[in-house]
């Protein structure tokens, strides 16, 4: 007998039919003799609806009252799912985050879980009950309701799995796993059987939004076996693992990309100590996150400094550069918000060389100019013109052997 923490996302519990389908599935797992803690999200669209309502009262800023409001979405689904289970003769009990003591800090709207007192849950499990817990919410030391940020139910599930030392945390969603790339851009993308936590973090921070990033970090930190799978169809999903895959397997796990960045360049700054600090210090002070940074080799005592920021912060970053330009006597400022960042991600590149050259060769063959390059231990990223995003991603997906093999017609 195993203990599973299962999380069902908004679309999985988005209607009466869906809640009934989830209840049927839970009853089957229970019948196989397993212990179950179930975490649910609000019905799809509900959190957005509540946010809009709050907007009518200028309550959209993350405050104490907004968290009181948003936490109701999950309270509805825990109750309904528990009713559906009880109707099926399955013992079940619903709990809000505060009832099972999911203690968080007091940062409303993006609270972090500090501690879970699992006594109550363990008691119910011992009584053979299915424990249904509201995702996305907790309580601070003063008893105020908090929420964990959008997508936070994933984190609730992983934290509960860690506290209970569950055999597996299963995140049920509307896709059947993690893919080698976005199937909307790359039709030949395939589901991965496994991906390491590190790779998943890279993929997630690059825009593959299957799991809340914080949940993946949590799983990595506490070694929670985590699986993403579909609640709409049978399948084994994708296991987020801790082990390195064996050597024969693919070097690269996936091609990630995003269109959320913009590039700014300060041209002709004096090549002196302290310049990077004087340019990037004010950017950091303005809470603007910088991603890639490049400084050219100096010529005639001056150099160019280029970096990328989120597209929403393009204008404020350009303004701040204007000031740096005057202070430092730089020649000019240029910027471009029609860029895309593409990354190949894989733990295999730790032990193999040649990934970068395959990447550059592939882009060269497609005639795509690389504007910036950055590397980490398990990732190589390039910035290219936005227009070439799809072409580049598809070409790289193929070059790294990630395309699914389409069965030849006429055979079976
Ligand atoms: N209901 C919350 C949201 O929509 C939390 C979650 O679904 O994980 O973000
Ligand atoms: Mg979600």
pLDDT tens, residue by residue, 336-390? 999 999 999 999 898 888 999 999 999 999 999 999 999 999 999 999 999 999 9
Residue 13 CA to residue 72 CA, distance in Å, equals 15
Q: Are residues 165 and 260 in the same domain?
A: no
Mean pLDDT, range 67-95, rounded to an integer: 98
- Asked if residue 195 belongs to a domain, the reply is no
Q: How far apart are the first and last CA of the chain?
A: 38
**Where is the domain boundary, 113, 139, 174?**
174
Q: How many residues does the chain have?
A: 412
Find the 393 Cα to ligand 2 centroid distance in Å: 25
Q: Are residues 12 and 155 in the same domain?
A: yes
Q: Are residues 168 and 252 in the same domain?
A: no
- Asked if residue 209 belongs to a domain, the reply is no
* 367 φ/ψ sector (left φ>0, alpha ψ -120 to 50, else beta): left
Q: Are residues 42 and 170 in the same domain?
A: yes
Position 394 scores a pLDDT of 97
Residue 238 CA to residue 307 CA, distance in Å, equals 34
DSSP string spanning 186-244? -TT--B-SEEEHHHHHHHHHTT-TTS-HHHHHHHHHHT--EEEEESSS----EEEESSP
Count of domains in the chain?
A: 2
- Asked if residue 150 belongs to a domain, the reply is yes
pLDDT tens, residue by residue, 151-167? 999 999 999 999 999 99
- Asked if residue 186 belongs to a domain, the reply is no
Q: Are residues 271 and 397 in the same domain?
A: yes
**Where is the domain boundary, 174, 203, 218?**
174
Query: Is residue 86 a contact partner of residue 137, using CB atoms and an 8 Å limit?
Result: no
Query: Is residue 148 a contact partner of residue 110, using CB atoms and an 8 Å limit?
Result: yes
* CATH code of the domain containing 257: 3.30.2130.10
Of the CA atoms within 13 Å of residue 314, those in its CB half-sphere come to 14
Identify which of 14, 74, 153 to mutate to test ligand 1's pocket (most ligand atoms within 8 A of the CB): 153
Give the number of whichever ligand sits closest to the CA of residue 171: 2
pLDDT tens, residue by residue, 133-148? 999 999 999 999 999 9
The ligand 1 site (C-beta within 6 Å) comprises 9-10, 41-42, 47, 73, 135-136, 150-154
- Which of 15-19, 196-200, 342-346, 408-412 has the lowest average pLDDT? 408-412
**Where is the domain boundary, 174, 191, 210?**
174
Nearest CA to ligand 1 atom 6: 151
- Asked if residue 240 belongs to a domain, the reply is no
Q: Are residues 166 and 294 in the same domain?
A: no
Find the 152 Cα to ligand 1 centroid distance in Å: 6
Find the 153 Cα to ligand 2 centroid distance in Å: 7
Please give the model's pTM, rounded to 2 decimal places: 0.87
Residue 86 CA to residue 68 CA, distance in Å, equals 27
Q: Are residues 160 and 275 in the same domain?
A: no
* CATH code of the domain containing 119: 3.40.1160.10
- Asked if residue 187 belongs to a domain, the reply is no
**Comparing 105 with 300, which gets the higher pLDDT?**
105
Query: Is residue 140 a contact partner of residue 146, using CB atoms and an 8 Å limit?
Result: yes
Which of 72-75's residues contact partners 24+ apart within 8 Å by CB, and which partners?
73/41, 73/42, 73/43, 73/46, 73/47, 73/136, 74/40, 74/41, 74/42, 74/134, 74/135, 74/136, 74/137, 74/153, 75/134
**CA-only gyration radius of the chain, Å:** 24
Find the 351 Cα to ligand 1 centroid distance in Å: 38
Residue 369 CA to residue 378 CA, distance in Å, equals 23
Give the number of whichever ligand sits closest to the CA of residue 231: 2
User: Sign of the C-alpha dihedral, residues 53, 55, 57, 62?
Assistant: positive
Q: Are residues 249 and 377 in the same domain?
A: yes
Q: Are residues 30 and 122 in the same domain?
A: yes
Q: Are residues 276 and 377 in the same domain?
A: yes
- Asked if residue 52 belongs to a domain, the reply is yes
Give the number of whichever ligand sits closest to the CA of residue 211: 2
Query: Is residue 227 a contact partner of residue 240, using CB atoms and an 8 Å limit?
Result: yes
pLDDT tens, residue by residue, 269-328? 999 899 999 999 999 999 999 999 999 888 888 999 999 999 999 999 999 999 999 999
Identify which of 18, 52, 97, 151 to mutate to test ligand 1's pocket (most ligand atoms within 8 A of the CB): 151
* Mean pLDDT computed over every residue of the chain: 93
- Structural domain of 85: 3-174
pLDDT tens, residue by residue, 20-42? 999 999 999 999 999 999 999 99
Q: Are residues 159 and 292 in the same domain?
A: no
Nearest CA to ligand 1 atom 8: 151
Alpha-helical (H) ranges within 63-196 are 64-87, 119-126, 153-164
Give the number of whichever ligand sits closest to the CA of residue 174: 2
Find the 136 Cα to ligand 1 centroid distance in Å: 6
**Phi, psi (degrees; rounded to nearest 5) at 66:** -65, -40
Q: Are residues 157 and 54 in the same domain?
A: yes
């Amino acid at each position: 007998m195993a203990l599973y923490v299962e999380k069902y996302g908004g679309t999985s519990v988005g209607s009466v039919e869906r809640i009934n389908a989830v209840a049927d599935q839970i009853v089957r797992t229970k019948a196989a003799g397993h212990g179950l803690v179930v975490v649910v999200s609000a019905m799809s669209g509900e959190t957005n609806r509540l946010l809009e309502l709050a907007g009518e009262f200028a309550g959209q800023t993350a405050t104490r009252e907004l968290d009181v409001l948003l936490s109701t979405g999950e309270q509805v689904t825990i109750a309904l799912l528990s009713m559906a289970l009880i109707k099926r003769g399955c013992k079940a009990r619903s709990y809000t985050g505060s009832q099972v003591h999911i203690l968080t800090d007091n940062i409303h709207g993006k609270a972090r879980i500090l501690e879970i007192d699992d006594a109550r849950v363990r008691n119910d499990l011992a009584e053979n009950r299915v424990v249904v817990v509201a995702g996305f919410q907790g309580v601070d030391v003063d008893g105020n309701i908090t929420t964990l940020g959008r997508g936070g139910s994933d984190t609730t599930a992983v934290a509960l799995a860690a506290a209970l030392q569950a055999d597996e945390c299963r995140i049920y969603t509307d896709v059947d796993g993690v893919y080698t790339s976005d199937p909307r851009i790359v039709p030949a993308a395939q589901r991965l059987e496994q991906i390491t936590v590190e790779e998943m973090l890279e993929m997630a921070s690059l825009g593959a939004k299957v799991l809340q990033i914080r949940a993946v970090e949590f799983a990595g930190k506490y070694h929670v076996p985590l699986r993403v799978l579909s609640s709409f169809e049978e399948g084994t999903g994708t296991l987020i693992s801790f082990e390195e895959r064996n050597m024969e397997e693919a070097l690269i796990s996936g091609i990630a990309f995003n269109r959320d960045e913009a590039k700014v360049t300060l041209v002709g700054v004096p090549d002196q100590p302290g310049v990077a600090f004087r340019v990037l210090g004010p950017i950091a002070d303005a809470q603007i996150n910088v991603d890639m940074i490049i400084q050219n080799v100096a010529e005639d005592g001056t150099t160019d400094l280029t970096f990328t920021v989120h597209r929403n912060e393009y204008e404020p970053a350009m303004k701040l550069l204007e000031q740096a330009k005057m202070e430092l006597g730089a020649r000019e400022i240029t910027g471009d918000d029609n860029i895309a960042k593409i990354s190949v991600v894989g733990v295999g590149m730790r032990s193999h060389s040649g990934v970068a050259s395959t990447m550059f060769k592939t882009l060269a063959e497609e005639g795509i100019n690389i504007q910036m390059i950055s590397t980490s231990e398990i990732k190589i990223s390039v910035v290219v013109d936005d227009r070439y995003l799809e072409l580049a991603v598809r070409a790289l997906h193929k070059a790294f052997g990630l395309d699914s093999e389409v069965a030849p017609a006429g055979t079976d």
